[in-house]
């Protein structure tokens, strides 16, 4: 039996020049052969817009979002950018991070994940998702590699969790039996209900040591891309020289025998993960519980309600 290889594309990128990012993203997209004619297609870009607070490094870089958006727009696609931040709205986070200015210059709209859709996942959980994330021709994830106190690292798979609507993210944290593997199963199951998807990961400057809001910047000068977020994450764990067994998402994907969880089944048409070894990236040794502190949870819900009622 011949195992079909999954392509993961890794390419150097020295900095956040918008045109250079568009060129590198276009190179990856074209070599992947994943996209048919994009003229008239609706493309939803899903960056990581975690919050207006914390380091700028905690969110997707404005130039990274705009560079990828530019390439898709040049192919004739209708491009939208959306997310459901932990606090606030996509619009307020984009405004605070300067993302809106770049997107306005390209004529690209920021949308809110406002439509609620109930879906039962393969893991058996029923979740409330953003209809906007499902109502597109292509879902394109734009994660930024970061250390993560609860999940070891946050990469392409974890970024998909953003399609869960607002407060429902916190509820899933509180109702998954405080089990990292149960939580990972939920996130992995989200991948299966997305439209056609592709993921570009920002490894130009990443967040090391701690996260997802308060880590240390580290320059890797790389962009990665794949139609499989699992294969992309497996590759990045190798690129960062991390212990895969400490990543709950990787362990869950391997246990479920998900395609892309075995690096021997991944092909690298451009650069190899080993080309970027020696970065010195550090991930947390001990992970925090999945369930939030109850007082923090209640405080967070009150803040969300205040933001909603005040908007």
- Which residues does residue 78 pair with via DSSP β-bridges, in sequence order? 42
pLDDT digits (tens, 9 = 90+) for 19-56: 999 999 999 999 999 998 899 999 999 999 998 888 88
| Cβ–Cβ under 8 Å, residues 217 and 207 | yes
pLDDT digits (tens, 9 = 90+) for 49-94: 998 888 889 999 999 999 999 999 999 999 999 999 877 899 999 9
Q: Report the interhelical angle of 229-239 vs 248-255 (nearest 10°).
A: 130
**Which of helix, strand or coil describes residue 141?**
strand
Task: Supply 101's token pair.
Answer: 């200015």
Mean pLDDT (whole number) for 125-138: 94
pLDDT at 1: 43
Cα–Cα distance measured from residue 194 to residue 135, given in angstroms and rounded to the nearest whole number: 9
Task: Supply 215's token pair.
Answer: 């880590």
Q: In sequence order, which residues have a C-beta less than 8 Å from that of residue 74 and are 6 or more positions away? A: 22, 26
Cis ω for the linkage preceding 212 (within 30 of 0):
yes
pLDDT at 165: 85
Sign of the CA dihedral with 203 first, then 205, 207, and 208 last: positive
Going by their DSSP bridges, the two strands 9-12 and 222-226 should be labelled as: antiparallel
Only one residue has tokens 């619009």, namely: 91
**Residue 290 banded pLDDT, cuts 50, 70, 90:** confident
Domains (ranges, CATH) in the chain?
A: 6-306 (3.40.50.11440)
pLDDT at 296: 52
End-to-end CA distance of the chain: 57
Which DSSP state fits 164? B
Minimal CA–CA distance to 85: which of 152, 170, 156, 188? 170
Q: Please give the C-alpha separations between residue 176 and each of 161, 208, 226, 290, in angstroms, as whole numbers.
A: 14, 27, 29, 8
DSSP H helices in the chain: 18-32, 62-74, 90-97, 99-106, 131-134, 156-159, 167-174, 180-191, 229-239, 248-255, 294-310
């Amino acid at each position: 039996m011949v195992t079909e290889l999954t392509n993961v594309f890794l390419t150097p990128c020295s900095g956040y020049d918008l045109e250079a990012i568009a060129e590198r993203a276009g190179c990856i997209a074209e070599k992947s052969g994943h996209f048919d004619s994009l003229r008239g297609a609706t493309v939803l870009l899903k960056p990581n817009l975690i919050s207006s607070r914390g380091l700028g490094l905690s969110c997707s870089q404005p130039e990274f979002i705009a560079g990828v958006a530019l390439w898709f727009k040049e192919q004739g696609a209708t491009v939208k950018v959306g997310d459901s931040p932990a606090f606030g709205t996509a619009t307020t986070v984009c405004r605070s991070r300067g993302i809106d200015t770049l997107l306005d210059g390209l004529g690209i709209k920021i949308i809110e994940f406002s439509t609620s859709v109930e879906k039962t996942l393969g893991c058996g959980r029923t979740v409330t998702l953003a209809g906007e994330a499902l109502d597109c021709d292509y879902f394109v994830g734009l994660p930024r590699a970061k250390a993560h106190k609860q999940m070891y690292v946050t990469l392409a798979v974890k970024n998909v969790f953003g399609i869960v609507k607002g407060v429902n993210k916190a509820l899933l944290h509180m109702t998954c039996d405080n089990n990292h593997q149960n939580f990972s199963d939920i996130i992995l199951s989200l991948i299966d209900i997305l439209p056609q998807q592709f993921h570009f990961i920002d490894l130009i400057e990443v967040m090391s040591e701690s996260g997802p809001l308060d880590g240390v910047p580290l320059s890797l000068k790389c962009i990665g891309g794949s139609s499989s977020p699992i294969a992309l994450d497996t590759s990045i764990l190798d690129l960062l020289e991390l212990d895969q067994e400490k990543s709950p998402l990787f362990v869950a994907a391997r246990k479920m025998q998900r395609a892309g969880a075995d690096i021997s089944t991944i092909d690298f048409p451009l650069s190899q993960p080993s080309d970027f070894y020696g970065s010195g990236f550090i991930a947390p040794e001990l992970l925090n519980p999945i369930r939030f502190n109850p007082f923090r949870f209640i405080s967070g819900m009150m803040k969300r309600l205040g933001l909603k009622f005040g908007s």
